[in-house]
Structure 1
Amino acid sequence: MQKKDFKGYRAYQYLEPGVDFKEFKLSKETGLFPAYTIPLTTAQEERARRLFEENVVISLHDHMFVAPENLSEFFEFRRWGRDSMGYEGLSQSGLDCVFDNLMNGTAMITSRAGWKWDDILFDLGMRLCDIAHQDMVVLGLTTEDIRQAKKNRKIAFVPSLEASTMIENELDRLDILYGFGVRCMGIAYSEGNSLGYGLKEKNDGGLTEFGRQAVRRMNKLGIAIDISHSGDKTSLDTIETSDKPIFITHAGARSLWESNRLKPDHIIQACAERGGVIGIEAAPHTTMTKNQPRHNLDSFMEHFEYCANLVGIDHVAFGPDVLFGDHVGIHRVFASALSISAAHGKKNFEEVDYVAGIENPTEAFPNIVRWLITRGYSDEDIAKVIGGNIMRVLEEVWYDPKSMSIGKKDEKARA
């Protein structure tokens, strides 16, 4: 893997713990659970190293913060709104870019429900302030930013939000969030909002008229749209309303495991037909399968192969949705707020304490690449799914200041 320009920075080290902010003992970034690495031959090891060196590697969805060691303190930890980026673990992840979704569903500074406007800005601003005090992680606001991060041994940080709940009925708030650096947004999370319906709702009425306006505004601004947590009709309406490809940043195939958290074939296909990409997720107890009801790296990759066979290798990527700390423990703490029961589905499964092989950002992509190598995937296909497919979509969706337009398609249309 490409060695990153990590100089030992720790989150908020420019402040004095206990004086400037309340200090919490944080989990280990690595070594919290037994490490798992897919063994390779010497030749395969060299190939894996080269693939990381030569290609842009992007996580379409993750949370790069470090959880507190004592999860009974988690609510208090979140009320302070000061998440700590796992810089050391991130430096060992092999990533050149991460779509970081903060922890906005648990942004509870002013509310117990999360997703409030003030809390989102507080959460976002705090992370950006910390990033501004170091130089390994840089803001990824354009595709050129991502390429330059790779070239300079940095990691591009793309601020992302899993829902648009906080904009309420204020369309211009999308412009404000863009100004704060947000480049990817979901429509709804668990509950419905003014745009549409989330996966927890039993009755999905699809995008509202305001939701359609918001989708069109995101297209104009150059914000990538995510439907991972949206209900099925809301997802389809979003795909049909958007004039740009959209993302399913972190999900899997419902055909392999019956769960509202995963997407049915027709939505995955509709996303791909419009040029979009699905990122396969690994958050605990999501991408299980009928063949492998114990969640692990192989069940996760079964979802990848199913989607690749369904819509083609050009429309699949990875959004592991992992973090540094006890992920299963956090799910237990926030069971209702994070729609855990909806994610698990109705079938019996064997609960795990951690997802072996893909538990945290440090081991996720190294094992993904190693798995693909051992299964005989070509260099070209591996390059596509670890970042190339995402970059293709971003070239169409994001605003390009050099061409003064949104994406390559608009540039061709003008020509």
Structure 2
Amino acid sequence: MSSSRVTRRHFVQFASGIALSGCAGQGSDARAADRAPGSKAGGSLDDGIIFDGSGGIGRYEWNPPLTASEIQDGLRSGLTCVSITVDDVTNSEHAFDHTMEMISVRLREIAAHPESLMLVRNAADLRAAKATKRVGFIFAFQGATALGPALEHFDTMHGLGVRVMQLTYNTRNLLGDGCLEPGNAGLSTLGRRAVERMNASRVLVDVSHCGQRTTAEAIELSKQPVAITHTGCSAVVNHPRNKRDEELKRCADKGGVAGIYFMPFLRAQGQQMAADVIAHLEHAINVCGEEHVGIGSDGTVSTVDIKDPAYVAEFRKEVEERRKKGISAPGEAPDVFPLCPDLNTPQKFQILRDKLRARGHSQARLNKIMGGNFARLFADVCG
């Protein structure tokens, strides 16, 4: 690790202090939330919660520190909780170090803004985020390389608050094959051990980017419900990042939830819009049932100026870098943005909800789709 990066020793010292102080504060908030009317004992987590199964707040690629306006956007969005990626998704030999640095950065943001942000490890923390009107962050992996070649870093990552772990990104890793891997070999022996370890530690298994066999085998092997935190429906648009009806149904039958993203893969070509999100949501509801579908935007909250030359240049650079690393999916292009222009506002969740309501979806169903289902799944798995 270069001198410009946080060292492991300094990180552990810093993170331990944050974790201890955070647990104390959150425990107090959680107890207060438990005493509040309509909380755990007598109410439901699906009452008005907005839970983004994969996303973030701030700019398109979160480049801390967060500004005051970005934090206010997060609060104005109505988000109760967002599962935010904290790992290096590549198979880099430095994945552990890069992941430790990203976790450190996010912990510092939470510590700097305790009145607005909090770390969510379990259902009590989720209730506290709602009760105190803060945005809760669930730390999530979109790959497993940072866990180490023998899962030796699993306990470290769990101790630092990681509660959602995706088995693979788009390509193959030591746990299994991703959705772009032509071999489609499924879970490895280490991958099976990882699923068992996640079950034992009450970590939510995520199969969003996993290949078809990896997805099916993980759902079958897991003793707990499994999430597809951010995806689309292959029956609507046939794309390797979208899940087939068979996979969606298996996830639902096991008690899991599939989150629909706002990504370019919702369309065969051209810029995706809110109507595309709705088409995939409605198909997923028909396949899975309304208790097993949610939102996993795979994006951020603040408005992005897609006409800003600086943003366009940065976005094109990122697309090119992903292609060079071999982790880019078909459809990733410099002229198709990973957001819906008509949902490009902090009020995107309210706008989407209103569009769905106008199509005849009931308030009870909308409560489930906008966050209740993911909240229930998180509580069931993570405690």
Match of 1:15 in 2: none
Alignment of 1:358 onto 2:335: no
For 2:343, the aligned partner's letter is: I
* 1:14-413 to 2 correspondences below 5 Å: 54-67=47-60, 82=64, 84=66, 86-102=70-86, 104-105=88-89, 113=92, 116-135=95-114, 136-283=116-263, 285-288=264-267, 294-323=271-300, 324=302, 325=304, 329=315, 331-336=318-323, 337=325, 339-343=327-331, 351=336, 355-359=340-344, 362-398=346-382, 400=383
User: What letter corresponds to residue 221 of structure 2 in structure 1?
Assistant: T
Deviation per CA, 1:329-375: give whole Å up to 9, x if none: 25534341474443569xxxx94685222235x13212221112211
Alpha-carbon shift at residue 67 of structure 1 (Å): 4.8
1:114 is displaced (CA, Å) by: 7.9
Q: Which runs of 5+ in 1 are unaligned?
A: 1-51, 69-76, 401-415
Deviations 1:95-138 (A, max 9, x none): 111111146337xxxx9x58710110111111102211212101
Call closer, same or farther: CA 1:261–1:294 in 2, change over 3 Å: same
Normalised by the length of structure 1, the TM-score is 0.72
User: CA 1:171 to 1:386, structure 2 compared with 1: closer, same or farther past 3 Å?
Assistant: same
**Any stretches of 5+ residues in structure 2 without a counterpart?**
1-44
1:177, CA displacement in angstroms? 0.6
RMSD (CA atoms) = 2.7
The secondary structure found in structure 2 opposite 1:254 is coil
Counterpart residue type for residue 368 of structure 1: L
Identity of aligned residues (%): 26
CA distance in 2, matches of 1:296, 1:386: 18
Equivalenced residue count is 324
Task: Kindly indicate whether the alpha-carbon contact (under 8 Å) linking 1:102 and 1:124 is maintained by their aligned counterparts in 2.
Answer: yes
Amino acid at match of 2:245: D
| Distance across 1 between alignment mates of 2:47 and 2:145 | 39
How far apart are the structure 2 equivalents of 1:128 and 1:391?
A: 22
The verdict on how the C-alpha distance between 1:312 and 1:380 changes in structure 2, with shifts beyond 3 A counting, is same
2: CA distance, partners of 1:95 / 1:338: 33
CA distance change for structure 1 residues 154 and 222 in 2, over 3 Å: closer, same or farther? same
More helix by share: 2
Say whether the 8 Å CA contact 1:105–1:338 is kept in structure 2. no
Residue 55 of structure 1, CA deviation = 1.3
Q: The residue matched to 1:395 in structure 2 has which SS?
A: helix
What residue is the counterpart of 2:17 in the other structure?
none
Tell me the distance in 1 between the aligned counterparts of 2:138 and 2:342. Answer: 25
Distance in structure 2 (CA, Å) of the matches to 1:183 and 1:91: 22
Q: 1:114 to 1:162 in 2, by over 3 A?
A: farther
User: How far apart are residue 54 of structure 1 and its match?
Assistant: 4.9
Shift in Å, 1:56: 1.5
Cα distance change on mapping 1:53 and 1:191 into 2, 3 Å: closer
1:334 counterpart SS class: helix
Contact between 2:65 and 2:109, CA under 8 Å: does it hold in 1?
no
Runs of 4+ in 1 over 6 A off after TM superposition: none
- Using the alignment, how far apart are the partners of 2:272 and 2:287 within structure 1? 22
Does the 8 A contact of 1:278 with 1:315 survive in 2? yes
TM-score normalized with structure 2 length: 0.78
* Partner residue in 1 for 2:30: none
Q: 2:343 is paired with a residue of what secondary structure?
A: coil
- Whole-Å separation in 1 of the counterparts to 2:191 and 2:226: 15
Q: What secondary structure does 1:317 align onto?
A: strand
Question: 1:226 offset after TM fit, Å?
Answer: 0.7
